[in-house]
């Protein structure tokens, strides 16, 4: 079985923000393993635009994974980290019980931006941990025939990323040379999904262009990938995440009350700390919906 999950177009950081394609959460499928959020964007020509400008905002209960195909992003957070990322290196922010951060196109930039931002839901055993941020420039790269797979987080075919994660999962970039193909070993106990970030690939017999997320489900022991043009695909997988989640705005929690408390803390408290150096305003929380937020399972 497979499902092609179409994305929704969303303005990042407000109505005048950069357009991104959001494929997770999706209408019929909220999670792939612990992966609960996937935005892809670009290639965006930054000439005459401010590029990415997402002011200080809070997170709870998740990890953010930032990975670029082209360009640069400057990250600042309430722990005092200031880190630019470029293609080939990973920014991983673990919110734990609470952190705030901003993301922007640095003043000196290559004029183009293309990449993905993902969230990993933290399991109950880790979600109240202290916040952390790590940058990884040295990630495992594995050859599979004509493919080259970079392990961003988790592990693939026994090779583990140095980035800390808290549930069994994988996130990997598979790069395919022109006219190349190969087979990536998978774990049958994981569910998987694939997104073409650049080029156009054939994945398990499906033509997959940038845009939708191809959900493949569980029970697979291998993934065949080929491409006519140089292409890059993102492989996501993980053990099915069974805890129902309440996701609202930038928060991943377990109850309505927890989200209300996190929102109030951002509006009037100081537990999310302060982001220094961002030339712009912090993002206010939207109003709570009139109805109670309900926990939702991985399949809606
Ligand atoms: Mn964020």
Q: pLDDT tens, 152-211?
A: 999 999 999 999 999 999 999 999 999 999 999 999 999 999 999 999 999 999 999 999
Q: Is residue 282 part of a domain?
A: no
Q: Is residue 263 part of a domain?
A: no
In the DSSP assignment, the letter for residue 219 is: -
Kindly indicate the confidence band of residue 300, based on its pLDDT and cuts at 50, 70 and 90: low
Q: Is residue 255 part of a domain?
A: no
| CA of residue 24 to ligand 1 center, whole Å | 15
Q: Is residue 132 part of a domain?
A: yes
Q: Which of these, 218, 227, 275, lies nearest to 81 by C-alpha position?
A: 275
Q: Which of these, 125, 13, 121, 19, lies nearest to 61 by C-alpha position?
A: 121
| CA of residue 233 to ligand 1 center, whole Å | 23
| CA of residue 207 to ligand 1 center, whole Å | 31
Q: Is residue 72 part of a domain?
A: yes
| CA of residue 124 to ligand 1 center, whole Å | 20
Q: What pLDDT score was predicted for residue 274?
A: 98
Q: Is residue 244 part of a domain?
A: no
The pairing of strands 222-227 and 99-104 is unpaired
**13 pLDDT exceeds 90?**
no
Q: Is residue 265 part of a domain?
A: no
| CA of residue 250 to ligand 1 center, whole Å | 7
Residue 52 and residue 83 in contact, taking contact as beta carbons nearer than 8 Å: no
Q: How many domains does the chain have?
A: 1
Q: Which of these, 165, 98, 160, lies nearest to 125 by C-alpha position?
A: 165
- Domain range for 191: 3-238
| Residue 147, domain CATH | 2.60.120.10
| CA of residue 160 to ligand 1 center, whole Å | 25
Report how far apart, in Å, the C-alpha atoms of 137 and of each of 160, 163, 250 are.
Answer: 14, 10, 26
In the DSSP assignment, the letter for residue 126 is: T
Q: Is residue 285 part of a domain?
A: no
């Amino acid at each position: 079985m497979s499902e092609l999950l179409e994305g929704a177009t969303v303005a990042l950081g407000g109505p005048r923000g950069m357009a991104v394609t959001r494929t997770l959460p999706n209408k019929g499928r909220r999670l792939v393993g612990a992966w609960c959020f996937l935005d892809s964007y670009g290639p965006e020509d930054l000439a005459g635009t401010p590029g990415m400008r997402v002011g200080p905002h809070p997170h709870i209960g998740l990890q953010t994974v930032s990975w670029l195909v082209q360009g640069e992003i400057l990250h600042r957070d309430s722990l005092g980290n200031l880190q630019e990322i470029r293609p080939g290196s990973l920014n991983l922010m673990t919110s734990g019980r609470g952190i705030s951060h901003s993301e922007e196109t640095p003043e000196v930039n290559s004029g183009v931006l293309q990449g993905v931002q993902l969230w990993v839901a933290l399991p109950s055993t880790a979600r109240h941990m202290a916040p952390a941020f790590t940058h990884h420039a040295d990630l495992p790269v594995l050859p599979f025939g004509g493919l080259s797979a970079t392990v961003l987080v988790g592990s693939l075919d026994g090779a583990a990323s140095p980035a800390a994660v808290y549930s069994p999962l994988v996130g990997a970039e598979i790069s395919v040379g022109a006219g190349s193909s190969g087979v990536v070993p998978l774990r049958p106990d994981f569910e998987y999904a694939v997104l073409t970030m650049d080029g156009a690939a054939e994945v398990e017999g499906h033509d997959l262009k940038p845009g939708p997320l191809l959900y493949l489900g569980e029970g697979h022991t291998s993934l065949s990938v080929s491409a006519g043009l140089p292409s890059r695909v993102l492989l996501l997988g993980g053990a099915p995440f069974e805890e129902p989640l309440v996701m609202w705005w930038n928060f991943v929690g377990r109850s309505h009350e927890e989200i209300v408390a996190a929102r109030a803390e951002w509006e009037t408290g100081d537990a999310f700390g302060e982001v220094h150096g961002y030339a712009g305003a912090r993002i206010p929380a939207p109003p709570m919906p009139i109805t109670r937020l309900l926990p939702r399972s991985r399949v809606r």
